[in-house]
Amino acid sequence: MKAFTVYEDKYNNKNIVNNGNKFMTGNGYMGFRGTLEEYTKNELVACNISGLYDKQGDSWREPINAPNGLFTTLIVNGNEISLLQLEPVEHMQSIDIKEGIHRRNTIWDTKDGKIIVKAERFISLEDFHLICLKYSLIVDKQCEVVIKTGIDGDVWDINGPHLENYILEDQNGLIKILSTTQELKVPVVVAEICKKSFEAKEVIEKGEKSVIRCIEFKAEPNVEYTIYKYVSVYTGNDETSNAEQDCEANALKAVYIGYEKAYNEHIIQWKYRWDVSDVIIEGNEEDQLAIRYSIYQLQIIAPVHSNKLSIPARGLSGQTYKGAIFWDTEMFMLPFFLHTAPQVALNLVNYRIRTLDGARKKAEYYGFKGAFYAWESQENGEDACSDFNVTDIFTGRPVKTYFKDKQVHISAAVSYAIWETYKFSGDIKLLLRGGAEVILECARFFYSYAYYKEDKDRYEILDVIGPDEYHERVNNNAYTSKMVYHTLDVALQALELLKKGYPKEYLELVSRLNYSVEIANIIKFKEKLYVPGPDKKTLIIEQFDGYEKLEDCSLTEVKSRLLDPKEYWGGGHGVASNTKIIKQADVILMLYLFRNQYSQEVKKANWEYYEPRTEHGSSLSPCIYSLLSCEIGNEKWAYPFFVKTANVDLTGETKQFAGSIYIGGTHPAANGGAWMATILGFAGLNVKVGEITINPNLPKTWTKLSFNVIVRGEKYLINITQKDQKIIKL
């Protein structure tokens, strides 16, 4: 079905990096970039492992890429036949997002005749450690062929190498690479077994970091020669007492099951996922594909297998942004999972509960109390964010950024997500098993962070960075202050809930956290916290103190001041820093989240004011402008921002550099944002205490929008047309 297939039917080596993102496959345990079989680290091949990080020397900690068990290339009559050597006459690369299958089909016209390679692969949703590849060759003239296939351990790293102590093995048809990470010495094992549909001689070649089979045979014209590769990936982080043994056993099991059965088991799991999460848009094929593709991207990175993991800002597409978890997960991805995969949503918030101690350490480090969550969080919640997150494009020098120190809104995002999950599910266990503790610790952090201004008799949140990262160290950022207020509010609500319904647990928590004094502090703090509001005349909410005094020039003007397209726009010397140009939705995000507390006039005035001043330099931005437009009832404004969000990884038109640092990869927050814009925006879905309402305003070309949601264990089907709407309990 067209609306389930993403493909390219021409080869262009300029697209190699983007296609690595666009044609991603994965299963939450690992992500495999959409690279082709003959590619190596130079083309950014990556089998990216979720939740396993390493540090090399003084450089950033980042997730590891496992050895590539799919590596395969071809030699025909002594000549290498590869896209890297030879232009094809035909080439197609595709991803079937319905079944999570990556395919390629390449035809070369050579002096030795026509050579056709077809390959199909999947990262199993049934067995999280398994990758399968079916690779076929057809020639039209008799020729001598060597298929070189095996495990390439020379992996792509940004700040590597992360793997060391390579042991290369080859026993009874199984080849294997064992290695360990440098910092924590965690074993990483990849085993491969290859079965063939034909007779051939096989020789094993071992390189410094690779084990390759050379499958040699005489190929007859028009016969299809197929190999099946079963690749198993394990690490010492898995629930296993022996990663090596389990890895081998898993590869053997896969061979026993066979390709067809493994394939069928995999696609059945995809069917289950789509049964709940599919969104049908009739009337506009591009939008249909784009929303499904966004959902696909979220599904391939969802930590279904573990309640200890969350989702990094660039998914499992590589090591960009240190493979770290940002507020992207809580504010942009969580809603999709809450409505369609409640267990995954719980896993995501559980990650924050599990990493509370990391947040406590960070607060203590800066001299505060409570929990200051990491701006870039890795396995233990410690902050991976560097003090110098950008490199100056002209001097090559690191630029001091305050993301880690001052984006305190991260703790509010964590509290917000826990409270949203609690409200959505109605499950008090979430609060009893750590959720309330996190919220209380975040509230405590904000109390210790705030300033009491005696002259104004109010608390202020000073010296922060809001969502708009171009303006650092500002005072009274409206978004941050509002989110702090929300944290205090839900902290008090959580305390009240526990006190009434669970007095024993309440007393235990309050005494363990030594919180009795804090309660009085928080009540007072909430009463006197200053949250900037709309100006009486203009209705504009000033993004932070002094924003109005900044230079009010156009986006085009700011862009024209760039001396280099890769220049960083923010920080001390950025072209945007002293202007009103902002990176991403800030006040607008606040107005969307707290939409019931602001009038339509305020929302409209601020949208009109801030939109022309927003660069949308972050992929987190357009979806929020779309959502607020829907809230205002202006579908015309909303639609282009939906299109931008939903196509971000299809077009690859995003910022690839911050200074000289590569920030490319997939954009799960935008993928989640596309779902939000469609379901919460155009359909106007609202779930309150288990009750569903909708308030649709479909784009003009959409004749029908249909989707499912799961609310408190019940599944609902929602059908919306331009004239009609129905919520059906299934």
Kindly tell me the burial class for residue 519, based on how many C-beta atoms sit within 10 Å of its own C-beta (0-12, 13-18, 19 or more). Answer: middle
Judged by CB, which is closer to ligand IFM: 288, or 671?
Answer: 671
Amino acid letter for position 199: E
**Nearest-10 crossing angle of helices 409-425, 342-354:** 140
669 contacts ligand IFM (rule: CB under 6 A): yes
Angle at the Cα of 361 from the Cα atoms of 356 and 365, rounded to 5 degrees: 150
- Measured in whole angstroms, the distance separating CA 645 from the mean position of its chain's CA atoms is 14
- C-alpha span between 474 and 602 (Å, rounded): 23
21 contacts ligand IFM (rule: CB under 6 A): no
DSSP3 helix / strand / coil % (the chain, rounded to 5): 35, 25, 35
Residues pairing with 229 in the sheet: 133, 194
> What is the x/- site pattern for ligand IFM, positions 604-643, by CB under 6 A?
--------------x-x-----------------------
**Candidates 197-205, 207-215, 324-332, 562-570; binding stretch for ligand IFM (CB under 6 A):** 324-332
- C-alpha span between 47 and 133 (Å, rounded): 14
Q: Minimum Å distance from CB 603 to ligand IFM?
A: 21
Q: Which of 326, 525, 568, 598 binds ligand IFM (CB under 6 A)?
A: 326
Q: Minimum Å distance from CB 663 to ligand IFM?
A: 7
Judged by CB, which is closer to ligand IFM: 322, or 526?
Answer: 322
- Half-sphere exposure (Cβ direction) of 547: Cα atoms closer than 13 Å: 27
| 300 close to 352: Cβ distance less than 8 angstroms | no
**Candidates 77-85, 89-97, 221-229, 326-334; binding stretch for ligand IFM (CB under 6 A):** 326-334
Q: Which of 313, 344, 431, 483 binds ligand IFM (CB under 6 A)?
A: 313
Q: Minimum Å distance from CB 592 to ligand IFM?
A: 15
Judged by CB, which is closer to ligand IFM: 460, or 469?
Answer: 469
**Candidates 110-118, 323-331, 703-711, 722-730; binding stretch for ligand IFM (CB under 6 A):** 323-331
Edge-first strand listing for the sheet containing 47-54 = 25-26, 30-32, 47-54, 62-66
Q: Which of 157, 437, 469, 631 binds ligand IFM (CB under 6 A)?
A: 469
327 contacts ligand IFM (rule: CB under 6 A): yes
Judged by CB, which is closer to ligand IFM: 246, or 383?
Answer: 383
Q: Minimum Å distance from CB 493 to ligand IFM?
A: 27
| 4 close to 96: Cβ distance less than 8 angstroms | yes
328 contacts ligand IFM (rule: CB under 6 A): yes
| 21 close to 652: Cβ distance less than 8 angstroms | yes
Catalytic residue, candidates 120, 441, 469, 518: 469
Q: Map tokens 């839900």 to a residue.
A: 490
Q: Minimum Å distance from CB 649 to ligand IFM?
A: 13
588 contacts ligand IFM (rule: CB under 6 A): no
8: Cβ contacts below 8 Å, ≥ 6 apart: 15, 19, 92, 93, 94
Q: Minimum Å distance from CB 220 to ligand IFM?
A: 52
> What is the x/- site pattern for ligand IFM, positions 705-724, by CB under 6 A?
--------------------
305: Cβ contacts below 8 Å, ≥ 6 apart: 27, 28, 29, 128
**Nearest-10 crossing angle of helices 436-449, 342-354:** 50
| Residue 469 annotated to the active site | yes
Q: Which of 315, 342, 370, 467 binds ligand IFM (CB under 6 A)?
A: 467
Q: Minimum Å distance from CB 272 to ligand IFM?
A: 29
Q: Minimum Å distance from CB 664 to ligand IFM?
A: 12
Among candidate residues 625, 548, 538, the one with its CA nearest the CA of residue 587: 625
Size of the site for ligand IFM (CB under 6 A): 10
Binding residues for ligand IFM (CB under 6 A) = 313, 321, 326-328, 467, 469, 618, 620, 669
Residues designated catalytic: 469
